[in-house]
Every structure is written in structure tokens, then in C-alpha cells.
Amino acid sequence: MFFQRPEHPHSPLICLQVSLETGLLPGSIYIPFEEQYFSDEQFASNIVLAGYVRAQACSNMPVLLNLFEACEMCLRGREMPGRYTMSYSPFIIPYEQLPKTLPIFPLPGAIVMPGNQLPLNIFEPRYLNMVNDVLSTHRMIGMIQPNQKAGDETELHRTGCAGRITEYRETDDGRIEMVLSGVCRYDVDEVLPTTRGYSLCVPNWSRFRGDYATEEVKLHGEHERLVQTLKRYFEANGLDTDWSALQRLPTVKLMNTLSMALPFSEQDKQVLLETIEPAERLFTFTALLDSEHHESGSNPLH
């Protein structure tokens, strides 16, 4: 995996090349410094993170990835003291009214967590159909990862997270740029085809009713420990960020945001997504950070 600057006439971009063998995203992801998103024709959508964290990848090419601005993107317009979900928003469907069927958007290496935001760039016709259809109803889409270990590209993981389209823009070249705000996780009971090219699922929301909790889970004494673990991870991987800003984020919000943004494997992200209790998820998250830290220490990037 490596970053490079592509030749592009419209915006100063950083191009992330991701190997097909990683099980993440094939092709290239264009990561702009401004809110203009461009996509590679090899795959259906991009996750766009703007910014400035410097690192060094295994190819010794400079990496630019702004984890802090990713946090800001997830928090923009949504932060309330002591809260970590979006149930306080008047636009969010109450838990009892969550849809009985849900359009699904399979995307490897991409998760959205409740209360966090995922920017997406849609241009494949079937998913343009999907977005246009949900905009006239509940505006909700189920993000879910394909289960690449199953050996069948149509096989999905059991658990995903539904998000609501909270920002939307049509482009002159036929794309849709949007932000999906995580609402509630779900298990897939059944997958249903449609005549519009995309699939629906019958979601089972019951295991994740706690995603509608309004109070920040108090993980007493864990916030500073998490920050110190992050500092070790960042140092080992040549990363830097605005630590004073990160330290101001609530513990669960910080953990969920970085679970989405850090370059964990598809399987590791899936484990984090499926872990119900925040305390257990924090234990898994910090274990992953320490594991990556030790691997970086034994295989220096510089």
C-alpha cells in the first residue's frame, strides 16, 4: 500500500494505491484537500478523508492521511456534550420505526459506526438507483462488508451498520457525493433482490438497540490509557496529529472514529463493528493498536 500524487487537472490530490491482495479496496482512492471528490472507474465508490497526517508506508513513499480531520468530519454538526449516538437528532427515525427492509451497499474495508460519518462517492448505476430510491423514503442505507474469506464475492458478513444520508450533492459528471451518518447496526436475516440492480436485506436490529442510547458510555480511567496507546501506535508508524483535539473527544467517539479511519484489516474492522459493549470494543481496539505497534517495531517503516 502506498500513496502518491496523481496527475489530475482539478484538485491537489493524494492517490492511495491499494493492492488487490489486501482485501481492502481495489484500484485507487483519491483523497483531496478540499471537498471535491473524484473516483477511479475500477470500483463503485470511495471513502474520502481530507488532510494532513504525515506517515511513511512500507514502500517508503510519503503517506498523507488526516486522522484528526476524519474525526472532525465525523463530528461536524453532530457533537453534543456527553453524547455519542445520533438518537437526539429530530431527523433520525425512532428505534421502533426502523425499516423492515434496507438497501445494502457492500464495500470491503469500509464500515460506519453509530454516530459517525462516512463520506461516499457514488457513480455505479445500480447504486445511483439505490440512493435516488432511498432519498424519497427513509434516506437510510445499510453499509456491509463482503465476506471475502467465504470464497464467494456475493457472500456478505452477517452484521452491518445502517446510516442516514445527511449530506448530498449531484455532480456534472453524473456522480453523487454524499455523507452517510451511522444510526444503528443490524444483523442480516435475509437478502432480497430488486429490479433496480441493488439488493435489499431484512435487518434484525434487536442486538443493537443500545446504539440508540443517548448518554456517552463512561469508561472511567480508560480515556488516558487509550490516548497513550494511540501515541505509541502513531509514533511507531510515523504518524502525527493534533493530540489536544483528539483528547477532547469522548472515549467512545474517539474509538469509533479511528476504528473507521485507521488501516486495520477488513476482518479486524468487522470484529470491532460486531462488538456490542463499548468496554469490550475498547479492549479489542487497544489490542489491535498494540499488535500493529509491535509489528511496526519489528519491521521499521523508515
Domain extent listing, the chain: 95-212
Report the SS3 class of residue 164: strand
Please check the confidence at residue 244 and state whether its pLDDT lies above 70. Answer: yes
Q: Which of 40-44, 69-73, 130-134, 288-292 has the highest mean pLDDT?
A: 130-134
Range 242-254 average pLDDT:
89
pLDDT at 86: 44
- Alpha carbon distances (Å) from 269 to 104, 143, 174, 259, 284: 18, 13, 31, 7, 10
Share of the chain above pLDDT 90, in %: 53
pLDDT at 39: 33
pLDDT at 23: 31
Q: Which is higher by pLDDT, 35 or 111?
A: 111
Instruction: Give per-residue pLDDT as tens, 69-124.
Output: 444 444 443 433 333 334 457 888 999 999 999 999 999 999 999 999 999 999 99
Q: Which is higher by pLDDT, 84 or 273?
A: 273
Looking at every residue in the chain, the average pLDDT score rounds to 74
pLDDT at 241: 86
- Band (148; pLDDT cuts 50, 70, 90): confident
pTM of the model: 0.71
CA-wise closest residue to 99 among 205, 214, 179, 198: 205
pLDDT at 294: 58
For residue 161, give every residue at least 6 positions away whose Cβ sits within 8 Å of its Cβ, in sequence order, or none.
Answer: 111, 112, 113, 114, 142, 143, 144, 182, 183, 184, 185, 186, 273
CA distance 205 to 186: 5
Q: Identify the DSSP state of 153.
A: T
Instruction: Give per-residue pLDDT as tens, 109-129.
Output: 999 999 999 999 999 999 999
Superfamily covering domain 95-212: LON domain-like (2.30.130.40)
| Cβ 26 vs Cβ 43: under 8 Å | yes
Q: Please tell me the least confidently modeled range out of 39-48, 116-125, 166-175.
A: 39-48
Please check the confidence at residue 182 and state whether its pLDDT lies above 50. Answer: yes
Range 208-220 average pLDDT:
80
CA-wise closest residue to 281 among 236, 240, 222, 227: 222
pLDDT at 61: 27
The dihedral region occupied by 3, where left means phi > 0, alpha psi between -120 and 50, and beta the remainder, is beta
pLDDT at 216: 66
- Band (5; pLDDT cuts 50, 70, 90): very low
- Band (293; pLDDT cuts 50, 70, 90): low
pLDDT at 247: 86
pLDDT at 150: 66
pLDDT at 246: 86
Q: Please tell me the least confidently modeled range out of 6-10, 236-240, 244-248.
A: 6-10
pLDDT at 239: 86
